Amino acid sequence: MLRERIEGKWIDCFAEVFGRCGVAAGDAAAILSETQSRAVNVELAELALLRLGCRPFHLVVPTPRLAAPAPVRSTGASDALGRLAPAVAALARSVLVVDLTVEGLLHAAELPEILAGGARVLMVSNEHPEILERCLPDPALESKVREGMRMLRAARLMRVVSPAGTALEIALEGARVGGVWGYTAKPGTVAHWPGGICLAFPRAKSVNGTLVLAPGDVNLTFKRYLRDTVRLRIVDDYVREIEGAGVDADMMRGYFASWGDAEAYAVSHVGWGMNPGARWDAMTFYDRRDFNGTELRAFAGNFLYSTGANEVAGRHTLGHFDLPLRNCTVSLDGRTVVDEGRLLPPLA
């Protein structure tokens, strides 16, 4: 197991990323954590901000009691703040919020209010620092992610196929498009590190077809590479059938059903990975407690299908799957942008 201690090189990494977020000497920077946060990353954030001359302060909240019927993993929808108004106000008035909550604020209820105050929020994924070091943001990625977002906004239809049998159609009219390259310097915006994703949150009744998870594809909620084939039949956004004879299908059926919530079966977002430095095989090198899986959402050329909350479609649930698939071909209005898992120009 890798040790979790302060390393000078990791202070350098944190300082580099915070610098790309545009903070300057004297800026107020909030370090948001909870009692179950990874302590080494909290310390590294403080030391890096001090190195930049910022004025960091810690906002630490108790990790709340579990309220869900199943373990919640890698959702980006932290409930640690619990709508605590004084805490939200302090974050909103900061220049930078370094989000070190376990699940992250990306889809948290308090995020819109924090951003409305002008804060920029950097969600640092709950990873061992070595993973963050390997996935340092590359400024060259920003322009490519922005181009991918432009292409998504201009498109009306996404089609996804694969040799394994995936055949999906996704209507993009009315979708909300997003993209992350690992940092943000614009007030009132949010990013996460590791980064490198283009995605869309489709409006209701936009996704239909079959999604086939093949051996080697990833179920990030379970932190597991699939060993068996699983077929998801999707009608008007909702997974209606889960076909497969192995344990992978059984585990998905059980987790979906545990929520007792039809919305857990619906699409959250779709998109593709853009980061050439992120690795599909990264989970093989780390203990599970060291790894949160954001890197696997971002590896270049994956098709990312996610179920769960989707504000654009008016759906809210804590049930969530992130499913990065390999070897898919993704096209926008007939133009191929990912060819069997390989990014094409101008995105490559």
Q: What is the pLDDT of residues 120-170, one digit of tens each?
A: 999 999 999 999 999 999 999 999 999 999 999 999 999 999 999 999 999
pLDDT, the chain, mean:
96
Q: Sign of the C-alpha dihedral, residues 92, 29, 41, 197?
A: positive
Token output for 73: 């993993």
Give the separation between CA 45 and CA 147, rounded to whole angstroms: 31
Asked if 90 and 30 touch (Cβ cutoff 8 Å), the reply is: yes
Q: How confident is the model at residue 3 (pLDDT cuts 50, 70, 90)?
A: confident
pLDDT of 1 > 70? The answer is: no
Express each pLDDT in 223-280 by its tens digit.
999 999 999 999 999 999 999 999 999 999 999 999 999 999 999 999 999 999 999 9
Residue 44: name the closest of 4, 75, 71, 84 by CA: 4
Report whether 80 contacts 101 (CB < 8 A): yes
- In three-state secondary structure terms, 131 is helix
For the chain, give every domain's residue range. Answer: 8-134, 139-343
**Other Cβ atoms closer than 10 A to 292:** 25
| Calpha distance 27→157 (Å, rounded) | 43
52-74 in b/e form (b: 16+ CB < 10 A) is bebebeebebeeeeeeeebebbb
Cross-strand partners of 171: 157
Specify burial of residue 223 (Cβ count, 10 A radius: 0-12, 13-18, 19+): middle
pLDDT tens per residue across span 177-189: 999 999 999 999 9
CATH topology of domain 8-134: Rossmann fold (3.40.50)
> What confidence score (pLDDT) does residue 75 get?
82
CA 251 to CA 256: how far, in whole Å?
Answer: 9
Judged against a pLDDT cut of 80, whether residue 74 lies above it is answered with no
DSSP 57-86: EEEEEPPPPP-SSS---S-S---SSTT-HH
Categorize the per-residue pLDDT at 62 as very low, low, confident or very high, splitting at 50, 70 and 90: very high
